[in-house]
Amino acid sequence: MIHIKPPSGGFFYVSDLIISTISVFDARQQTALYLTCDHMKYLKQLAIILFVSFLGELCAWLLPFPIPGCLYGLALMFAALCLKIIKLEQVEDVSRFMIEIMPLMFTPPAVGLITTWNVLGDVWPKLLLIVVLTTFIVMFVTGHVAQAILHHEQHLSFNPRKWFHHSDIHGGAHPV
Structural domain includes residue 154: yes
The boundaries of the domain holding residue 18 are 2-41
Structural domain includes residue 125: yes
Half-sphere exposure of 152 (CA within 13 A, CB side): 6
| Residue 5 near residue 20, CB atoms below 8 Å | yes
| Residue 45 near residue 94, CB atoms below 8 Å | yes
pLDDT at 1: 39
pLDDT at 12: 40
Q: What is the mean pLDDT of each run of 10 residues along the chain (176 residues)?
A: 44 40 50 64 94 96 94 96 95 94 87 80 87 96 93 70 52 52
pLDDT at 40: 87
Structural domain includes residue 91: no
Structural domain includes residue 64: no
Per DSSP, what are the bridge partners of residue 21? 5, 36
pLDDT at 19: 39
pLDDT at 71: 94
Residue 55 backbone phi and psi in degrees, to 5: -60, -40
Let me know the angle formed at the C-alpha of 162 by 157 and 166, rounded to the nearest 5 degrees.
130
Structural domain includes residue 105: no
Structural domain includes residue 99: no
For the chain, how many structural domains are there in total?
2
Structural domain includes residue 168: no
Structural domain includes residue 79: no
pLDDT at 153: 79
